[in-house]
Every structure is written in C-alpha cells, then in structure tokens.
Structure 1
Amino acid sequence: MSETFAPDDARPAAVPLRAADDAAGQDLITRWAERHGVDAARRLAEAEDLADAVAKEITPENTADTYAKSWRVWTRFCVFARLPELEGSRGSLVAFVTWMLREGRANGKGYAPSSAGTHLAGVVVGLRERGCAVTRDDQAAARKALDGLAVKLLQEGERRGRGQAAAAEVADLYRVVRACPGTLAGDRDKALILTGFHYASRSQDPAGLLSGDVALVSRGLVVSVLTGKTKHSVRDAKINYQDDPEICPVEAWKAYRSRLAAEAEPRWSQPDAPAFVGIDRHGNVTGGMVPDSVTRAVKRISARAGVALSWTGHSLRIGLATTGRKKGKDAVAIADQGGWARHSRSMNGYFQRVDGWEDNATVGLT
C-alpha cells in the first residue's frame, strides 16, 4: 500500500502496517488519527505491530503448536456443522464441545474431556487473534457444558484419556540408578533422571539446557531453566547434595560430565554445548537431546528399571511435588523449585494425591 493519510480530514486511506491489515485495524487507526493526528496514529500502529511481534516471540513453540492444532479441530467442526469459522457465539462453542466429546477426533471417536478443554481454550485464543469477540460468559457457558457432559460420561461408565501420569518416587530412583549400565549413556541417564526429579523438569527443560546453564557450586548445583512455559517456570533451581551419594543428583551430574569429557569430542563439553546429549548404541554422541527424545528416554529408563507404574515425560515433575509434600516441604518452596505459580491448580492437584492419608478416618480402624 502506498497511500498516506489524507491531510484535509486526517483519515487514513490505507497504511503499510500489519496493524491495518483488516477492517478493524484500519478503523482503529482512523480513530487514532482523528484524536491524535496522523503522525501519532502511525506511531501507535507501529507499536501495535511491535506488540504482535513480541507476543509471537514469547509464545512457547509447543503452545503455538497446540493453538494451531486446536484451530484445525475448530475448522473441521465448522465444516461439519456448517457454521461460520469466525464466530465464537455461546451456541457455537457449546456445540463445539458437544461435538468434540461425541465424535470430534479424526477417526470419528470422541475426545477425552481434558483434550476437549485444551482445544476449547486454544480456539478462544484463535478467535480473538482473528478479531472475533468471545465474551467471558460465552466461554464460561461452553466450559460449564463440557464439565457437565464429562460427568455424564463417567456416570455412563465411559472413561477416556490416559489418566494421571505416574509420579516418580524415591524408591524408583534407586531402581533406576541400579539398572543403568556402566557406560556413558548410563551415566547420562542417571544425571537426566536425578537432576530432573530434583528441579521438577518437563521434557523440554533438560532438552533446552546448555552445559553452561548447570553450575556446580559448593552446596550443589544451580540449574538455570530458561525454556519454561510461563514466567514462573523460568528460574534458577538450586539442587543440594543429597545424603545418599547413590541417588545424589550432584554426584550423578559430575560423573556424567567427567565421562563425557573423557570419551567424547571436546566440543561436547563446551559451555554452549547441550547439557544432555544423545548417544547411539556404539557410545557416539549424536547431538543434543530434544523434548521428544527426553520423553522417550524417561519411559525407556523406567521400563528398564522395572518401575511398577511406567513413567511419562511428566513423572519427574509430579514426583518432586508429591515427594516434597510428603516430606512436609513448604508449598511455596515447592512451587519456586518446580516453577509453578504459588497457587497453581496443577501443583495443588499433585498435592491431593498424597494429602488426606495420615489424618484419615480409616487409619487404625482394624
């Protein structure tokens, strides 16, 4: 676009900015020009573009992928229901969650309620990004319908989804450590599990670490987690030496890094190298681990150790929360260590797994 603001009435015909790419954006710039003048309107439009760019930059890649997947589910629903894609009314959102639970998956089966809830949230974000108004009341109505329908599924004996992930426990750590082979890969596995447990890692956390992000200090390790999903999860997590060196994350990290320096090329020990590397069956380093390879490793390691409830990529994270709770650790300290908000619903949900067992009406009855 080459036109500029008309000087006689200060109304912009068109502006070569992303903020004016749709009618709503052009109307907004017109109002700014009328209130503040042409130059100020252009600067405000540029600020809008910057805000959009910053929002895109700070949105985690996996969150963006989830939003994109949710939007694809929404477009399938709109085709099915013959509804306009860019309209987030109460009725359309309630119909959307109903359809998802009934037949929304690509194979014609229904989604688990938790997955449907994720897609509902993603679609609301997508609609708003595309300039469509979605009120709190309309979203709440869809959420209420989803919760009610989920209860009816349970009443009808239908349980969907994988259920809660298993929590890693201290006894499991011993099994894992003792099952690791005496190789570079085995030492890597020990360090991955023991450090991950102690800072409540998600799969993307160790995958995003550089060796320089893990500092050895007099009292243990400081792990600078920079790939968190929220402002709370970006943190410096301190890990103390543990009383038993067999499952001490600090000792495991030191052993892994020493062996890596001795058996791999020097470049893998540089501060800007990945903290956790992939290792093939011949003991060769293949590059840095990615979130999927961390998840697979955690599953493989727990299976090798014969852990009764197989771990997922979230088991170490849940393990820190539940073990800390059982040990009487302060909830704020647990939240800060694991990168949760201090009143996080997910963290409190993990606490509920262990709460209510000691002071329980069934203790000592027989």
Structure 2
Amino acid sequence: MLSPPTEESPSALAPVRTERQNLIERWAARHGVDAARRLAEAEDLADAVAAEITPDNTVDTYAKSWRVWTRFCNSTGLPEREGSRGALVAFVTWMLREGRQNGTGYAPSSASTHLAAAVVELRGRGVKVSGDDQAEARAALDGLAVKLLQAGERRGRGQAVGADIDGLRAVARACPDTLTGDRDKALVLTGFSYASRSQDPAGLLAGDVTLHPRGMVVAVLTGKTKHSVRNAKIRYADDPEVCPVRAWTAYRARLVAEHGEQWADLSTPAFVGIDRWGHVTGGMGPDAVTRAIKRISQRAGVPIAWTGHSLRIGLASTARRKGRDGIAIADQGGWARHSRSMLGYMQIDDGWDDNASAGLT
C-alpha cells in the first residue's frame, strides 16, 4: 500500500498543515482543547509510523514519479496542484506517447507505477484526487495498452529469465578458486534457494545466517511485506557441487582465513565486495548484487544473462516444475499465498503441462 511522502518542501507542506490545523480546531470545538492536543499527537505518531515503514525504494519511486508529473505539467501547461479526471487521463496518454526524457513513450507497467505514485504525491500535498477520476485514468491506460499490443508494439524489458539447475551447475563450475569465486558461488546458490531479490543478500549480516544439522536458516529482514520477512530454511543439497550450505560455509571460512578474525563477527555483512586485487571493500549494496549476478551468469556461459530477479523467478518456476506445493514455494520465497506474481512465474512452466486444452483429443 502506498504511503504518504515523508519529505516535503515548506511550500508543498503548506496545504497539509492548513488542513491539519483546521481539523485540530474542529476537534477542539467538539471534544475540548486537551483532547484535540492528544488527537493531534496521535496524528503525528501515525505520520511517523507511515514514514518508518515506507521502504527506501518506495520513497525513491514517489520522488521519481513526481518528477515525471512535473515534466508532464511543464510540457502541457497544466498546473501541478490539480488532479482532475482530464489531467490524469492526459497524464497517462502523454506518458505512453512521449513521456520519457528521450521523447519516447513509457511501457504501460511503468506508466501505471507513475500514475499511482503521482496520485499519492498529489494527495500528500493536499490536492483532492477522486478515486473515480483515478479509476478512469487507469481504465484509459489499460485501453491504450491494448491498442499498443494490437499494433504489435511491446514495450519494456519483459520478465527476467529465471535461473535453473543447469545454470546453477554452470555457475558453480565457472567460479574461480578465489575468495571472489567462493563469494559468487555462495551468493547465487543461497539466493536461488530462498528466492532472493537483490536487496535481500545486500541486507544480510553474517548473524542472519545460522547453521542447522539439516542445513541453514536465512533470516530475511529486508522484505516489504509481512510475508517476505521470514526465516527461510535451506537444506543440504544431494549434489555437493551446487549445495548452498557447503558454498556458504566455504566462503565464510575463506573470508576469515584470508582477511582476519574480524570477519567472524556476526555483525559483519554476509556478502562482501571484493575489488580486482582481492581487497575486501565492505558490504555489497543491491546494485552491486545485481551486477554480480549478471557477471557471474555471463562468466558461466548462461545463454541469456541473469538479472537481480532471476534467482527469485528461478526458485518459483523450478520448484513448480519439480512438483513442489504452491504454498510451500510461497512460504520459502516470501510471497503471499496465491500471489499473482508468484503464479505468473510458475506459469512459465505450467502453460504447457497444466494446460486446459492438453489431452482433450
């Protein structure tokens, strides 16, 4: 759920503050000054909680989408602080036709994100945006997206390719016998096993990974939902070559042996950056994880290079192909049960085997 923006300029906050002051005055008239003060403090707490639970990447999306909205307003001469039906429909039309900075149109999925975030930003600035008007803009966006498909125009990168078992074996064999190679192998094999996003291994500390007689437990604390914050259990693999538990223990043991006992501290990053000379540079960020996964897959000769989302897609599609229960897959990967995105990943394989027309004739 989109939350209100957390940082605003004084001019942007003015309508919000005026509305809040009017609300406090109504509370005072209705309940008395002391009750109004306590209600105002509760509102401040609610604002602080919203800011606290809003992920950084969501805040970044709001800021980016507001910049797209302001470019649209500058291009069309429409006022920034109006969210009328016509303005919103014009916004999505503009985005699909010419909205990107290079003059080309956005992919419908990107336009949908910018529409939702721009509406949140408008409301956060005190602009009244009707739910019906927003719904009409979204209906216009959906209709225009169909027109693009009918014209044979497909925009966007499409879904990332999913990692698979053959690819994991190729990665394991291509990793050099160095600390970087051990780190790469552990990053990919463990990430696949708990369907990681790029931010997940970047956010892990050594203490978030604990060994167990049957494998290891990864405490994923960087998720955006109550489902994605989880303790993912990873068992020893039957094939030692692609065993995530063995890869993790080998990597961490080598890190301590080559760079000192300080890396045995549970508060150190789980996955470290390593430069070309073998120096440890600190923890890996999400972008570094994404770049590493692409580089690792290219080194292994994977036909289509993996992205930061390939491990996540790969766990869902491969587990489904192996007959794993959908609920078990959801719990392991941190999806809500019957998640549409998870089911979409599974459909990569289900479209042939679990096909309504198969075997009818």
Aligned to 1:241: 236
| Greater Cα shift, 258-267 or 68-77 | 258-267
Aligned to 2:172: 177
Cα distance in 1, alignment partners of residues 345 and 304 from structure 2: 16
Which residue identity lines up with residue 273 of structure 1 in the other structure? T
* 8 A contact 2:293–2:307 mirrored in 1: yes
Aligned to 2:46: 51
* 8 A contact 1:19–1:49 mirrored in 2: no
- Of the three residues 110, 119, 132, the one matched with 1:115 is 110
Cα distance in 1, alignment partners of residues 271 and 154 from structure 2: 37
Unaligned runs of 5+ in 2: 1-12
Aligned to 2:249: 254
- Which structure has the larger Rg over C-alpha atoms? 1
Aligned to 1:327: 322
- Cα shift readout 1:37-91 (whole Å, capped 9, x = no counterpart): 1011111111111111111111111111011100110111112222221222222
- Of the three residues 157, 181, 187, the one matched with 2:182 is 187
Which residue identity lines up with residue 254 of structure 1 in the other structure? T
**1:198 and 2:169 matched:** no
Q: How large is the RMSD of aligned CA atoms in angstroms?
A: 1.7
Cα distance in 2, alignment partners of residues 332 and 36 from structure 1: 49
Aligned to 2:334: 339
Cα distance in 2, alignment partners of residues 92 and 125 from structure 1: 15
Residue 336 of structure 1: how far off its partner (Å)? 1.2
Runs of at least 4 residues off by over 6 Å = 362-365
TM-score (normalised: structure 2): 0.93
Unaligned runs of 5+ in 1: 1-17
TM-score (normalised: structure 1): 0.91
* 8 A contact 2:202–2:286 mirrored in 1: yes
- Aligned pairs for 1:290-305 (under 5 A) are 290-305=285-300
- Of the three residues 29, 33, 40, the one matched with 1:34 is 29
Cα 1:229–1:359, aligned 2, differ >3 Å: closer, same or farther?
closer
Cα distance in 1, alignment partners of residues 190 and 343 from structure 2: 22
* Percentage of matched positions with identical amino acids: 73
Aligned to 2:148: 153
* 8 A contact 1:203–1:314 mirrored in 2: yes
* 8 A contact 2:15–2:126 mirrored in 1: no
* 8 A contact 2:16–2:125 mirrored in 1: no
Cα distance in 1, alignment partners of residues 307 and 185 from structure 2: 16
Residue 135 of structure 1: how far off its partner (Å)? 2.8
More helix by share: 2
Aligned to 2:222: 227
Higher relative CO (CA 8 A, sep ≥ 6), structure 1 or 2? 2
Residue 128 of structure 1: how far off its partner (Å)? 2.0
SS in 1 for 2:97: helix
Aligned to 1:283: 278
Residue 343 of structure 1: how far off its partner (Å)? 2.6
Cα distance in 2, alignment partners of residues 150 and 20 from structure 1: 35
Aligned to 2:6: none
* 8 A contact 1:71–1:122 mirrored in 2: yes
Cα 1:56–1:165, aligned 2, differ >3 Å: closer, same or farther?
same
Aligned to 2:57: 62
* 8 A contact 1:210–1:274 mirrored in 2: yes
- Cα shift readout 1:270-293 (whole Å, capped 9, x = no counterpart): 100000000112211110000000
Cα 1:19–1:328, aligned 2, differ >3 Å: closer, same or farther?
farther
Residue 21 of structure 1: how far off its partner (Å)? 5.6
- Aligned pairs for 1:77-92 (under 5 A) are 77-92=72-87
Aligned to 1:270: 265
**1:215 and 2:210 matched:** yes
Residue 364 of structure 1: how far off its partner (Å)? 12
Residue 359 of structure 1: how far off its partner (Å)? 4.6
